[in-house]
């Protein structure tokens, strides 16, 4: 029984980081008032750039390259949404499509159709004391990114609610005109946040190709970006909420896998497809139950135009 | 002006379109007699999948045509090189596998909608025989074969089925299916001998084809290690590496020490998990599928269940050249050399005895003494037997 629980926790620790980073990115962008459904595309760019980078430079540098690639797509999204006030959902979807096609094209042009050659995977940390204790040792044996994913949400929470910059970010998403009258550059804040969201989504993608696997595989991130957006909504647009939702989704996923191998009889009663759809169904439920707009920032999806009020 | 631009755009698109679907093709040499052209349409896995499609391409390009695809063109290889590429059991076959001088025409499919046009394209290019690789091409092969009664077709991994799923026959289509359960039985028997705790099976989509692997594998484990438990799980896809890895990690954490996968790309994740567990000091093994997957993780692979798609393609090409390509439904099992297991390169205590035991089981299956189950009902009967 203990080892079943341990397997479950270990899986969740391994699976969650990519989702945590990407959903934090989505929170950052949407808190500043820019809808970000392009997370999937930014993750794909990050995963690809990190794997290709890691073929020539050390893998941690490859991860940084992946983040930069995500940030580049974030910058495109920001430019379209802020400078040209385009429809933000359309821009996000366009980024997803471009990243899907460009990733496939580059992969085929440079390597094989199915994936890059293997790279040196990020080192897995074996924590000396932890690994002796049952259950708790599930936290040992992950890459540095897992521990970063545990620390980042709290730092993010403090930054958003305890610092002046955090206040400006939230103001840009709630009432940009008021922020502007107080001398905050709404465009500047939004640019920073959307590019930052790209960095985080890129990091999430890089996690997939350098930590989860040791190469870019042509289906990456296989819908995880949309799951990240769902986690953001489920977590009511807060960093800690998004973290909790990501952890919840990851645990649910680990539970599904654990049940399938340990207690196959359960799957005779509850079809596996139902369990696969559960995170999305829960997100729909949360969206359906909350009041109109609910926890979402008031100016979310509204391009800021200083001439209007 | 606008129209002018549009025209350029259309022309560019047309050129791009042609380029994409133009089959990679060897330059015909005028001095030689007319060669038979053999077409091949891959499924969406395509060239470089380390498994099913690559195996079919090997049968056509390297073995039947005696060429290697490098960069973007074919380069001839010597007979010696072809012979060296043959696994031991294939090299023993009579008549020997050697180049037939056919001309390969290969088209890769990017999407499911491509299958039918790609097959028709090859027929239009003059392919006397066109190979559809994978059960996903079943409908397309049937449709194109009906439309082109003068051309011959080979469908891998599925019989022709009508809308209700009943087998049908066409006078110009040969189909090949494999007894995957027999090969899986042997790797299962080996897993049972090597494992000290439990063994695991990871499948892709939960479909009858993959269930054959599971049934054979479980029966094999039972034959050598009746007390060893087999955990089994399905990813539900063939293209989610992360899912394969997670399932394997879950199994490894529960004490599984040998994992067999039949999960397409997801299997790469399974092998990845085994590789990581091994580098952290655990004595665990993976078993590959379809082609020899040893190169994916040299230390961690015990063996692979081999499905000789290459041989099926080669034999059809040879029958074509010899003018005796009949529209039969071929079933390839251990007896015919259609399935088997890859060379066991891993070292473990008692290896020689284990391999002797596996060879004995192979002999008994070929002789018909063991009836290997191919679905869960037969498996239950097999497990109930003493």
* pLDDT per position as a tens digit, B102-127: 999 999 887 888 999 999 999 999 99
Strands B103-107 and B24-25: antiparallel
Q: Which residue in the block uniquely carries the two structure tokens 């042609």?
A: B18
Average the pLDDT over A155-167 and give the result. Answer: 95
Q: Are strands B103-107 and B37-41 parallel, antiparallel or unpaired?
A: parallel
DSSP result, A168-232: HHHHHHH-HHHHHHTT--HHHHHHHHHHHHHHHHHHHHHHIIIIISSS-BTTTTTTHHHHHHHHH
What chain A residue is nearest to B279 in terms of C-alpha separation? A124
Question: What Å distances lie between residue A77 and A91, A190, B46, B233, CA to CA?
Answer: 6, 11, 33, 40
Query: Does the N-terminal peptide bond of residue A300 adopt cis geometry, omega within 30 degrees of 0?
Result: no
At residue A238, the 3 state secondary structure works out as: coil
Closest CA to B189 of B157, B150, B230, B160: B230
Quick check: A196 pLDDT over 50?
yes
Nearest-CA distance from B198 to chain A in Å? Answer: 12
- pLDDT bin (cut points 50, 70, 90) of residue B29 is very low
Task: Name the most confidently modeled range: A127-131, B93-97, B142-146.
Answer: B142-146
Cβ distance B242 to A208 less than 8 Å, yes or no, reads yes
Mean pLDDT over residues B247-253, rounded?
91
Which residue does chain A place closest to B247, by CA atoms? Answer: A257
- Residues from chain B that touch A113, judged by Cβ atoms under 8 A, are 46-48, 108
Instruction: State the pLDDT at residue B181.
Output: 94
Question: Does B46 sit within 8 Å of A113, measured CB to CB?
Answer: yes
Q: Which of A120-129, B7-16, B125-134 has the lowest mean pLDDT?
A: B7-16
Chain B residues touching A126 at Cβ < 8 A = 280
Q: Distance of CA A287 to CAs A240, A281, B144, B312, Å? A: 18, 10, 48, 54
CB contact under 8 A, A3 and B48: no
pLDDT in tens, B308-323: 999 999 999 999 999 8
Q: Which residues of B touch A114 (CB under 8 A)?
A: 45-46, 48-50, 265
Does residue A294 register a pLDDT over 80?
A: no
Averaged pLDDT for residues B131-136 = 91
Question: Which tens digit of pLDDT belongs to each residue from B195-221?
Answer: 999 999 999 888 888 999 999 999 999
Partners of B48 on chain A (C-beta within 8 Å) are 112-114
- Residues of B near A (Cβ–Cβ under 8 Å) read 45-50, 108, 200, 206, 231-234, 236, 239-243, 245-247, 249-251, 253-255, 265, 268-269, 272, 276, 280
* Mean per-residue pLDDT over chain A, rounded: 89
CB contact under 8 A, A114 and B254: no
Q: Which pLDDT tens digit goes with each residue over B93-103?
A: 778 888 888 99
**B141: pLDDT strictly greater than 80:** yes
CATH topology of domain B180-306+349-384: Rossmann fold (3.40.50)
Confidence label for B7 from pLDDT (cuts 50, 70 and 90): low
Which of B251, B255, B269 lies closest to A213 in CB terms?
A: B269
Of A7, A8, A213, the CB nearest to B272: A213
- A198-230 per-position pLDDT tens digit: 999 999 999 999 998 888 988 888 889 999 998
Closest residue on chain A to B50 (Cα): A114
Cβ contact, residue pair A10, B249, below 8 Å: yes
Chain A residues with CB-CB distance to B under 8 A?
Answer: 3-4, 6-8, 10-11, 14-15, 112-115, 121, 124, 126, 141, 208, 212-214, 217, 219-220, 222, 253-254, 257-258, 260-262, 264, 272-273, 276
* B233: nearest CB among A114, A253, A261: A261
State pLDDT tens for residues A231-256: 998 888 999 999 999 998 898 888 88
Q: For A58-67, A165-174, B335-344, which range has the lowest pLDDT when averaged over its residues?
A: B335-344
Give the C-alpha distances (Å, rounded to integers) separating B56 from A142, A170, B51, B126, B352.
39, 58, 9, 20, 32
- Report d(CA B152, CA A5) in Å as an integer: 56
- Which CATH fold topology does B34-178+313-321 show? Rossmann fold (3.40.50)
Residues of B in contact with A142 (CB under 8 A): none
Element (H, E) at B286: strand B285-290
pLDDT score recorded for residue A167: 95
Which member of B232, B245, B249 has the closest CB to residue A213?
Answer: B245
**Looking at the predicted structure, is the pLDDT value of residue B359 above 90?**
yes
| Chain A residues close to B255, C-beta within 8 Å | 3
φ/ψ (deg, to 5) at B365: -65, -45
Phi/psi of residue B106, nearest 5 degrees: -120, 130
Tell me which residue in B47, B240, B276 faces A222 most closely, judged by beta carbons: B240
B34-178+313-321 shares its CATH topology with B180-306+349-384: yes
| B27: pLDDT strictly greater than 60 | no
Report the residue from B231, B249, B268 with minimal CB separation from A14.
Answer: B249
Note the pLDDT of residue B14.
47
Q: Is the pLDDT of residue A257 over 50?
A: yes
pLDDT per residue as tens digits for the range B163-173: 887 888 999 99
Boundaries of every domain in chain B? 34-178+313-321, 180-306+349-384
Give the mutation candidate from B53, B108, B207, B250 for the A interface (greatest A CB count, under 10 A).
B250
Report, as an integer, the average pLDDT of A100-114.
86
Residue B17 has pLDDT above 70, yes or no: no
Go through the domains of chain A in sequence order and give each one's CATH number: 2-289 (1.10.3470)
Rounded to whole angstroms, the Cα distance separating B175 from A257 reads: 36
CA distance A78 to A193: 9
CA distance A159 to chain B (A): 32
pLDDT at residue B133 in the model: 92
Distances (CA, A) of B329 to A112, B129, B154, B176, B312: 34, 16, 10, 6, 12
Residue B371: how many CB atoms within 10 A of its CB?
A: 12
Tally of CB atoms within 10 A around A175: 16
């Amino acid at each position: 029984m203990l080892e079943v629980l341990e397997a479950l926790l270990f899986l969740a620790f391994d699976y969650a980081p990519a989702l945590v980073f990407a959903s934090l990115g989505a929170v950052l962008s949407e808190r500043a008032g820019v809808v970000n459904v392009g997370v999937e595309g930014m993750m794909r760019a990050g995963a690809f750039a990190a794997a290709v980078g890691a073929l020539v430079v050390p893998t941690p540098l490859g991860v940084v390259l992946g983040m930069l690639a995500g940030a580049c797509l974030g910058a495109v999204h920001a430019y379209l949404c802020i400078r040209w006030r385009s429809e933000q959902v359309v821009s996000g979807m366009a980024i997803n499509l471009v990243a899907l096609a460009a990733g496939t094209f580059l992969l085929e042009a440079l390597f094989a159709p199915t994936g890059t050659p293997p790279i040196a995977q990020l080192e897995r940390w074996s924590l000396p004391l932890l690994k002796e204790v049952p259950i708790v040792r599930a936290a040992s044996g992950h890459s540095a990114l897992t521990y970063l994913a545990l620390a980042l949400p709290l730092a993010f929470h403090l930054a958003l609610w305890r610092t002046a910059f955090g206040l400006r970010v939230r103001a840009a998403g709630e009432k940009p005109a008021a922020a502007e009258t107080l001398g905050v550059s709404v465009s500047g804040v939004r640019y920073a946040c959307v590019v930052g969201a790209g960095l985080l989504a890129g990091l999430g993608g890089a996690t997939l190709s350098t930590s989860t696997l040791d190469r870019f595989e042509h289906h990456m991130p296989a819908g995880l970006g949309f799951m990240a957006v769902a986690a953001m909504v489920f977590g009511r647009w807060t960093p800690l909420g998004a973290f909790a939702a990501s952890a919840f989704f990851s645990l649910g996923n680990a539970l599904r896998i654990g049940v399938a191998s340990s207690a196959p009889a359960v799957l005779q009663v509850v079809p596996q497809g139902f369990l696969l759809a559960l995170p999305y169904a829960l997100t729909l439920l949360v969206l359906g139950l909350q009041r109109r707009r609910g926890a979402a920032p008031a100016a979310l999806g509204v391009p800021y135009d200083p001439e209007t009020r | 002006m606008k129209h002018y631009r549009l025209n350029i755009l259309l022309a560019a698109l047309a050129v791009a379109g042609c380029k994409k679907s133009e089959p990679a093709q060897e330059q015909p040499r005028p001095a030689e007699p007319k060669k038979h052209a053999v077409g091949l349409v891959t499924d969406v896995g395509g060239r470089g999948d380390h498994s099913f499609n690559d195996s079919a391409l090997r049968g056509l390009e390297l073995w039947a045509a005696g060429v290697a695809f490098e960069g973007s063109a074919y380069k001839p290889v010597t007979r010696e090189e072809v012979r060296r590429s043959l696994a031991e059991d294939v090299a023993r076959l009579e008549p020997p596998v050697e180049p037939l001088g056919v001309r390969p025409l290969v088209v890769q499919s990017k999407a499911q909608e491509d299958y039918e046009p790609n097959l028709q394209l090859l027929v239009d290019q003059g392919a006397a025989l066109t190979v559809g690789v994978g059960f996903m091409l079943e409908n397309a092969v049937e449709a194109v074969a009906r439309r082109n009664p003068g051309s011959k077709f080979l469908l891998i991994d599925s019989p022709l089925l009508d809308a209700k799923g009943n087998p049908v026959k066409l006078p110009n289509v040969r189909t090949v299916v494999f007894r995957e359960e027999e090969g899986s039985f042997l790797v299962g028997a080996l897993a049972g001998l090597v494992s000290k705790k439990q063994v695991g099976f990871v499948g892709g989509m939960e479909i009858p084809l993959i269930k054959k692997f599971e049934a054979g594998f479980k029966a094999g484990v039972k034959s050598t290690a009746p007390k060893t438990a087999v955990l089994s799980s399905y990813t539900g896809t063939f293209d989610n590496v992360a899912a394969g890895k997670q399932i394997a990690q879950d199994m490894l954490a529960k004490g599984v020490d040998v994992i067999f996968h039949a999960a397409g790309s997801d299997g790469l994740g399974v092998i990845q998990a085994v590789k990581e567990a091994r580098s952290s000091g655990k004595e665990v093994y993976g078993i590959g599928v379809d082609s020899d997957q040893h190169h994916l993780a040299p230390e961690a692979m015990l063996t692979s269940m081999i499905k000789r798609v290459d041989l099926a393609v080669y034999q059809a090409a040879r029958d074509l050249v010899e003018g005796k390509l009949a529209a039969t439904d071929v079933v390839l099992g251990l007896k015919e050399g259609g399935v088997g297991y890859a060379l066991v390169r891993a070292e473990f205590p008692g290896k020689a005895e284990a391999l002797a035991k596996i060879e004995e089981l192979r002999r008994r299956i070929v002789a018909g003494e063991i009836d290997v189950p191919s679905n869960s009902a037969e498996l239950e009967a097999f497990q109930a037997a003493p």
